[in-house]
Chains A and B, each alone.
Chain A
Amino acid sequence: NAGVTQTPKFQVLKTGQSMTLQCAQDMNHEYMSWYRQDPGMGLRLIHYSVGAGITDQGEVPNGYNVSRSTTEDFPLRLLSAAPSQTSVYFCASSYGVEGVHEKLFFGSGTQLSVL
């Protein structure tokens, strides 16, 4: 029972490099999202998806792209990494129905450093 799987766990990039953070869930969740966590800031929403083929921007979308070609996968792409994108990134998913089952299931996080 894998839940939400994020890879890699750690990554170091140089300014200007691009990369993709992978996220996969095996719970058949319709809703998936990406958050970043910075010290003293809590978690802030980057992008989210309510189903395959549907994505939308969150609070801090600049510098990131997403796509949702399948229900299971929701990759996050950094187009040209900047030091301001140094953060811990969390992928999360849920059933997308209101009530207690709307709780988010989180991946274990990716710690990204941009030099």
Chain B
Amino acid sequence: AQKITQTQPGMFVQEKEAVTLDCTYDTSDPSYGLFWYKQPSSGEMIFLIYQGSYDQQNATEGRYSLNFQKARKSANLVISASQLGDSAMYFCAMREGSGAGSYQLTFGKGTKLSVIP
């Protein structure tokens, strides 16, 4: 079974609208971390937001927020007020476990977001 599932290969959103990118995860470990990265067409990987499994509140970073639903094992990324520069691939990733040896991330296959003017 895939540990990270991103079911939307591609999405379109109108400029200035909000958009939600889906991510579900699979782990039996009580300690884990969830990440979202953005990859523009230039290829670099840009960290957006982090949510720890023990965090009580949903993470927010500027226009990005993470809708963390622990019981449903989902960690959806919400981008508010989309901009043309948000057009990119978006990857959800997870770290499982704790301690040395657990810091590697497992990535989903990504969602390509296109913002329409």
Query: Taking beta carbons and an 8 Å cutoff, which residues of A are in contact with B?
Result: 31, 33, 35, 40-45, 48, 50-51, 56, 58-59, 88, 90, 92, 94, 96, 98-100, 102-106, 108-109
Q: Do A100 and B103 touch (CB < 8 A)?
A: no
B103 partner residues in chain A, CB cutoff 8 A: 31, 33, 48, 50, 94, 96, 102
Q: How far is the CB of B97 from chain A (nearest CB, A)?
A: 10
In the complex, 20 of the A-B residue pairs with CB atoms within 8 angstroms, ordered by the A residue number, are A33-B103, A42-B108, A42-B109, A44-B107, A45-B105, A48-B104, A50-B101, A51-B100, A58-B104, A59-B106, A92-B45, A94-B103, A98-B31, A102-B33, A102-B50, A102-B103, A103-B47, A106-B44, A106-B45, A108-B44
- Could you say which of B35, B47, B95, B101 contacts A56, with CB atoms under 8 Å apart? B101
- Chain B residues bordering chain A, tally (CB within 8 A): 24
Task: List 7 tightest A-B contacts by C-beta distance, closest first.
Answer: A106-B45, A42-B107, A43-B107, A42-B109, A31-B103, A50-B100, A103-B47
B100 partner residues in chain A, CB cutoff 8 A: 50-51, 96
Q: Is the interface of B mostly helix, strand, loop or mixed?
A: loop
Q: How far is the CB of A110 from chain B (nearest CB, A)?
A: 10
A104 to B33, CA, bound (A): 12
Q: Do A99 and B109 touch (CB < 8 A)?
A: no
A29 to B26, CA, bound (A): 28
A90 to B33, CA, bound (A): 20
A88 partner residues in chain B, CB cutoff 8 A: 43
A99 to B101, CA, bound (A): 15
CB-nearest residue of chain B to A96:
B103
